[in-house]
Amino acid sequence: MDDIQKIIPVTTVKKNFLNIIKDMTDEDSTITVTKNGVAVGVMITPDHYIGLLETIEILSDPAILKALDESEKDFKAGKVYSHKDVWAE
């Protein structure tokens, strides 16, 4: 996920909520909401939220982490296949 892309005071969010939601959706952006200059919340699109949940699920699965670790070792050892090798008939 991209870093926080916009920082908006809560008073601005309250006044312009529908426009902010529209812009956030159109731009696929993430917004930090501040109160008195301090971050108090983050607004993200549903796609980003689902992506975060999927990432948490993957990182919580020891079998997947082990497979990723083995893949990294294979890559570093040069045990890789080219695109052509993989898709050759």
Kindly tell me if the per-residue pLDDT of 22 is higher than 90: yes
Q: Using an 8 Å Cβ cutoff, are 48 and 4 in contact?
A: no
Domain ranges of the chain: 1-44, 45-79
78 DSSP assignment: T
Architecture label for domain 1-44: 3-Layer(aba) Sandwich (3.40)
Complete edge-to-edge strand list for the sheet that includes strand 6-9: 6-9, 31-35, 38-43
Residue 4: pLDDT band with limits 50, 70, 90: low
Task: Give the pLDDT of residue 85.
Answer: 87
pLDDT digits (tens, 9 = 90+) for 64-89: 999 999 999 999 999 998 889 889 87
- Which structure tokens are listed for 65? 């982490």
Mean pLDDT of the chain: 91
Task: Give the pLDDT of residue 5.
Answer: 82
For the entire predicted model, the pTM comes to: 0.65
Q: Within 13 Å of residue 40, how many CA atoms lie on the same side as its CB?
A: 11
Kindly tell me if the per-residue pLDDT of 1 is higher than 50: no
